[in-house]
Amino acid sequence: MSVSAGQGVHPTITVLHGDDQPQLSGLEHVRLAHDAATLAAALPGTEVLLVWDFLSDAVHDAWPAADAGLRWVHTASAGVDRLSFPGLAGSAVTVTNSRGVFDTPIAEYVLGLVLAMAKDLPTTLALQARREWRHRDAEQVAGATAVVVGGGPIGRAVARLLRAVGMHVELVGRAAAPGRHGFDELPVLLPRAGWLVLAAPLTEQTRGMVDAAALAALPAGARVINVARGALVDEAALVAAVRLGRLGGAALDVVATEPLLPSSPLWELPGVIISPHMSGDTHGWRAALVDAFIANLDRYRAGQPLHNVVDKRLGYVTDGPDGSI
């Protein structure tokens, strides 16, 4: 898909930001918005929308106002779930994402969580706080089996890194492909998943896929790691499975409602690690995201096809330098 006709050399750009703003020095015609109201006010005359606050619902909420002159929406994220609504999907607006920026950081983060749980690091730190020296046996991860859900570049990077430490990895994507199972094979794979890693886009197909039945299919003591979107997991079912001792633990970098509500039982659930949606964010990530946007903006100005164009029906990029997901 390309945006090829009529765009301006200096298009008006609106930035939907949250707590922080991207450094876009040198760009002209930049408007700022931080919620649905300010976005609706900024959009008339805007050609390009940069969604910096990728967890905001403001684009959805401001949509009727947006659909006049807007040609391209770029999101500073891999996931485009907040942009997957009928108004945008049915429009002529092109959506691009930040595919590639987060692959290695997220893969490292997942491996760090696997090793932290296998080596019982949370207990070690809790004992340290009490000045208590208490030896325990840990687990070896080499030889363990991980099922990685997500056949895109992030899931593939996770699989690569887990294999590099000797784990046996089954990669699962929407449809089977060489080196990859399809979602329909999960009933066979889950009973072998000592580690279940979620790295798939949030789509209608993945929403709630880790429900009570999926959790019950895992082997006793299995761990669940979610670095995708919270809504892939039925959190109530997860809490119940942990409380019943069915799971060995979980590490959630994403939750259904972010920030996680102070009242959530997840905070204090034994064996559960909660981190604040940071798996992809290594030093320099903001600059990397800006660079990715600017590179695409240069293509836009030159009338060239944009990179990382999202299939708005599927909810992710289906082609790219790393192959289809």
CB closer to a second copy out of 51 and 88: 51
Work out the burial of residue 140: count CB atoms within 10 Å of its CB; fewer than 13 is exposed, 13-18 middle, 19 or more buried: exposed
* Beta bridge partners of residue 172, listed in sequence order: 149, 181
**DSSP per-residue codes, 47-86:** -EEEESSTT--HHHHTHHHHTTT--EEEESSS--GGG-SH
Report if residue 139 touches a second copy, rule: CB under 8 A: yes
Residue matched to tokens 């692959």? 103
Report if residue 303 touches a second copy, rule: CB under 8 A: no
Report if residue 142 touches a second copy, rule: CB under 8 A: yes
Report if residue 55 touches a second copy, rule: CB under 8 A: no
Listed in sequence order, the residues at least 6 apart from 321 whose beta carbon sits closer than 8 Å to its beta carbon are 100
Smallest gap from residue 197 Cβ to a second copy (A)? 15
The SS3 assignment for 196 reads: strand
Catalytic site residue 258? yes
Of 174, 229, 235, 307, catalytic: 229
CA distance linking residue 62 with residue 110, whole number of Å = 35
Q: Integer distance in angstroms from the first to the last C-alpha of the chain?
A: 17
CA distance linking residue 190 with residue 217, whole number of Å = 6
Smallest gap from residue 289 Cβ to a second copy (A)? 12
Q: How many residues bind a second copy (CB under 8 A)?
A: 48
Sole binder of a second copy in the list 7, 21, 91, 124 (CB under 8 A): 124
The SS3 assignment for 125 reads: helix
CA distance linking residue 131 with residue 127, whole number of Å = 6
Sole binder of a second copy in the list 115, 240, 294, 314 (CB under 8 A): 115
Sole binder of a second copy in the list 44, 221, 259, 270 (CB under 8 A): 259
Residues 148-207 interacting with a second copy (rule: CB under 8 A): 161, 164-166
CA distance linking residue 29 with residue 230, whole number of Å = 35
Report if residue 291 touches a second copy, rule: CB under 8 A: no
CB closer to a second copy out of 109 and 183: 109
Smallest gap from residue 275 Cβ to a second copy (A)? 5
Sole binder of a second copy in the list 125, 188, 244, 295 (CB under 8 A): 125
**Residues 203 and 209: beta-carbon distance below 8 Å:** no
Report if residue 277 touches a second copy, rule: CB under 8 A: yes
Of 28, 243, 258, 313, catalytic: 258
**Site of interaction with a second copy (CB under 8 A):** 104-105, 108-109, 111-112, 115-116, 118-119, 121-122, 124-125, 127-128, 131, 133-142, 161, 164-166, 258-260, 262, 264, 267-268, 273-278, 281-283, 285
Q: Which residues are catalytic?
A: 229, 258, 277
